[in-house]
Structure 1
């Protein structure tokens, strides 16, 4: 049967907010391109921006083995890379990494882990955009490198490290070696996510720690809300350096990065960090709406500069179409969800999240309306159907107060005892205000 109109570009339509604002560390991409559309830039300016972007061909091979599209929806993977290097592989200044990023004093800390993975599902019917966060420690079958079981965040770094000596043997070095080995990492991450969720990935955007810091600088102070006071000192390369009081907190760029990176001293650990990333994006959207960013040409230019400096996108993403969808940036048309886990385990000395492929398939089907079919094996052939598992916990949109309201806890949260083998899932987060999180 012929595949229905497989999208090569992001389609025009009424889903600008989802495209423009849900990006974790990659929030800069949507915001910057929303600026492009909202400010009425000329085609010349658009062409200039396109010429300055870093693009990747990593998606091409991955799409050849992708599950078929059942409709005209679009899935875009947002990758937040926990790297202390720039786009060319150069180490960031140690003092800057330590003082501003609170990320240790070595470029080797964090490696090339993808600590943020968010899939944007933009439905064909102009409905609400769904943003699905994948916990970074989910223990899954990886693709593109050794084909082993690893934390999903490690697929990028494993594939990059495996590709480097082969590329070096071909005479590649410096920035060229860095970019092509990163492409191997991107391809592995894309293939792993695609097979894990059982959905095709149509586009992707990638940004690292420096990019998040830069966009936070360009946007200016952002207000977030905490359910409880918390502190996470940065010591010996561990800890985010974040400290906040219960209620509303206004964060500069350095504090914002620490806020979305904290996982220690939180009741939900890494899952709470995922919810913080979601809540931060909602808070940014609230700020852009309240302050009328699109009327500030200087700040708009700063956002565009960050897009050119810090973001990598796939080479098939049509930026003009993408920007045209972003004009209603503050429409509140997005809901965040987080994939459920079944519990925790220690494997090879590493703490991991255990997951049930059948549960994941049902969750994705429910959220995206896409039947993923049987999970593929490492060789790419369908594997056996896992045994039945409990249905996922139901989530509902979070109550998101405006800054003038008293902070309230996000609703819809549910969790179960890992020992009981029941799924655990955090609250869904909707745009439209400042959600309170742990």
Structure 2
């Protein structure tokens, strides 16, 4: 009887042990329950007790636990990936919102009360900007978020830099055409005068009206920067490298501009683009200097060294948005679309040129530039038709070379 009882109790003990282990597995599966180690102890191999067959119920519990653990790992990885993607997208969107929202807007820049015959039709493709650099001869910034003086006051500023920037519909190139400040043109309501006088007399509306009547090209948007912003932008990108092809006198500073490559900070670059009296072609060479500077800045801004360095990129973007003002019809969304559409354009994809010139003259005691009516007619037509690539390929132009005076 005792032997029979002993033989009958051994299976019961094994059943109790299996039930106890199954209970521990169930507790580990419950939220907040004790954590079950992967093995059942040093005496086990692969979860089995030597000499004891594993219970089918325990095998199912163990497999279920492994499946849950695998799902948790996969779910965690997916959550991390999604969070990372959202952070990247969110940061990019914040940057777009932050910087486009910071750009200063100028109200009422477009002319009003203009005869219908003097209003050009929209171009057949792309957009055309009028880029204006104003010389207030003041240390007070007049453009951008940091402006401490109006962008324009009658007689206080002249537009020393005027460029028509045509961005074609394909978003692959950009064409920059400088209008010499001394160009002798018809200024509405003032007769004939130098082009830069239009801004001094009537601010952005009169300058836009003058350029549109001259070219019959619709100006879609205006961008303005003054010399204070010019200096800061140059310094923000760590200065620029500009190559001078021959030694010339330096009227705005001491010494000479020696032939060779110069690394210029903001003050030096300002002297460089203001210079014209010591240059062989005067105002025409100065416009090429302005283009040369713009190209040098773009090269620096778009370089991997700037874009891959968060601190440099932030400083550069801060100064751009602090220094530049645009018309108030250029919304944040339109500005974002413009930036995104031109994201692959590099300075090598840009063509810099002067408007065709017939010669020079003295009128009313002033040295002036005479635009070539025939040459400019073909240029303006190419802008209107968004065929600037064909125009550049088929015409002899006063283009910016690799080096300028």
TM-score w.r.t. the length of structure 1 is 0.61
Aligned to 1:66: 119
1:113 aligns with 2:80: no
- C-alpha distance in 1, partners of 2:353/2:238? 27
Indicate which of 335, 344, 359 corresponds to 1:343. Answer: 359
- C-alpha distance in 2, partners of 1:71/1:242? 49
Structure with more contact order per residue of length (Cα contacts < 8 Å, sep ≥ 6): 1
**What's the RMSD between the two structures over aligned residues?**
3.1
1:304 aligns with 2:317: yes
Per the TM alignment, residue 149 of structure 1 is displaced from its structure 2 partner at its CA by 1.2
Deviations 1:304-361 (A, max 9, x none): 2223322110112222112212432536211111112222222222211122444422
Indicate which of 292, 303, 311 corresponds to 1:279. Answer: 292
Indicate which of 239, 246, 249 corresponds to 1:231. Answer: 249
- Residues 271 and 426, structure 1, Cα contact 8 Å, conserved in 2: no
- C-alpha distance in 2, partners of 1:307/1:332? 21
Aligned to 1:136: 181
- C-alpha distance in 1, partners of 2:365/2:273? 26
Larger Rg over CA atoms: 2
Question: In 2 relative to 1, CA 213–74 (structure 1 residues): closer, same or farther, beyond 3 Å?
Answer: same
1:158 aligns with 2:208: no
Question: In 2 relative to 1, CA 312–195 (structure 1 residues): closer, same or farther, beyond 3 Å?
Answer: same
Between Structure 1 and Structure 2, how many residues are aligned? 300
Deviations 1:70-104 (A, max 9, x none): 4122111111111124225649xxxxxxxxxxxxx
- C-alpha distance in 1, partners of 2:163/2:90? 29
- Residues 100 and 336, structure 2, Cα contact 8 Å, conserved in 1: no
- C-alpha distance in 2, partners of 1:331/1:260? 19
Question: In 2 relative to 1, CA 306–156 (structure 1 residues): closer, same or farther, beyond 3 Å?
Answer: same
Per the TM alignment, residue 141 of structure 1 is displaced from its structure 2 partner at its CA by 0.8
- C-alpha distance in 1, partners of 2:96/2:379? 38
- C-alpha distance in 1, partners of 2:89/2:317? 11
Aligned to 1:208: 226
Indicate which of 32, 48, 54 corresponds to 2:104. Answer: 54
Deviations 1:214-234 (A, max 9, x none): 100101121111111122233
Question: In 2 relative to 1, CA 201–358 (structure 1 residues): closer, same or farther, beyond 3 Å?
Answer: same
Deviations 1:250-280 (A, max 9, x none): 1122111111111121111110011111122
- SS of residue paired to 2:361: strand
Aligned to 1:360: 376
Q: Is the deviation greater in 55-64 or in 270-279? A: 55-64
Deviations 1:34-77 (A, max 9, x none): xxxx9984434433334433212334446986311241221111
Q: Unaligned regions of 5+ residues in structure 2, if any?
A: 1-87
- C-alpha distance in 1, partners of 2:400/2:90? 34
Question: In 2 relative to 1, CA 60–39 (structure 1 residues): closer, same or farther, beyond 3 Å?
Answer: farther
- C-alpha distance in 2, partners of 1:241/1:366? 43
- C-alpha distance in 2, partners of 1:213/1:427? 25
- SS of residue paired to 1:220: coil
- C-alpha distance in 2, partners of 1:352/1:39? 52
- How does 1:372-387 map onto structure 2 within 5 Å? none
- C-alpha distance in 1, partners of 2:172/2:343? 16
Aligned to 1:171: none
Question: In 2 relative to 1, CA 361–39 (structure 1 residues): closer, same or farther, beyond 3 Å?
Answer: farther
- SS of residue paired to 2:348: coil
Q: Unaligned regions of 5+ residues in structure 1, if any?
A: 1-37, 92-107, 160-184, 235-239, 372-393, 398-411, 415-424, 430-434
Q: Is the deviation greater in 250-259 or in 131-140? A: 250-259
- Residues 127 and 168, structure 2, Cα contact 8 Å, conserved in 1: yes
- C-alpha distance in 1, partners of 2:307/2:267? 24
- C-alpha distance in 2, partners of 1:243/1:254? 15
Per the TM alignment, residue 213 of structure 1 is displaced from its structure 2 partner at its CA by 0.4
Q: Is the deviation greater in 343-352 or in 271-280? A: 343-352
Aligned to 1:328: 344
- SS of residue paired to 1:140: strand
- How does 1:168-207 map onto structure 2 within 5 Å? 185-207=203-225
1:252 aligns with 2:260: no
